[in-house]
Amino acid sequence: MLELVRHIDSAHDLQTSVIKTFEDSYEALRKANISLGIDIVEDIAASIPITNEVVVRLRSVMGVEIPDIDEIDCSVKPSYSLIGSTGAMDQAYASSRRVLAALLKLAEVETSVYRLAVQIRRAHRRVNALEKVVIPANKRETGFINDVLDEGEREDFVRMKIAKAVRERYDHRGI
């Protein structure tokens, strides 16, 4: 639960940060569209290769696999020609890298929250099953076993009394 609460607090902070990062990125893209034109910005965006630098590792927290995503480098390394582009395009590119980094972090935290919540729900169901079904059934069975053992002890006591009485009668007659 502590891990879940920690991740929920982190998710809330990251959601706020992602919204701000998106707003900054849209503003930078708007400026690039104004300075270069939408068609040129689209052509430049199409020339940027798809990134494959996202590394996801899993770590176990109380038996739950939690993603751990390596941070990506947000520095500007344009793969497009600087001739025919402006600083506004560089700003849009840099802000889109920051958006990607923020989304990766948010995805990591939200996936962790989801997986932990599912596991906690499962554990809660198990606890409820134990408290409401298994433990009461075991208590009933324990009570039944105690009753049977008590009855057996009473029967043994009665047999011992009868045996003692028979032996005393036999000893009385035999003298």
Domains and CATH numbers, the chain: 2-128 (1.10.287.3240)
100, 21 Cβ separation under 8 angstroms: no
Helix 38-47 with 87-129: angle, nearest 10 deg = 60
**pLDDT of the residue at 174:** 60
- What per-residue string of b and e applies to 74-98 under the rule 16 or more CB within 10 Å gives b? eeeeeebeeeebeebbbbbbbbbbb
Helix (H) or strand (E) holding 15: helix 2-36
**pLDDT of the residue at 42:** 87
Record the tokens describing residue 137, joined without a space: 């059934």
**pLDDT of the residue at 51:** 75
58, 65 Cβ separation under 8 angstroms: yes
Q: Is 19 helix (H, G, I), strand (E, B) or coil?
A: helix
**pLDDT of the residue at 89:** 83
**pLDDT of the residue at 145:** 95
Strands (E), 10-91: 56-61, 64-69
CA distance 88 to 27: 10
Along the 175 residues of the chain, how does pLDDT read in single tens digits? Answer: 777 777 788 888 889 999 999 999 999 999 999 888 888 888 888 877 777 788 888 888 878 888 888 887 777 677 766 677 778 888 888 888 899 889 999 998 898 888 888 988 998 999 999 999 999 999 999 999 999 999 999 999 999 999 998 888 888 776 5
**pLDDT of the residue at 156:** 93
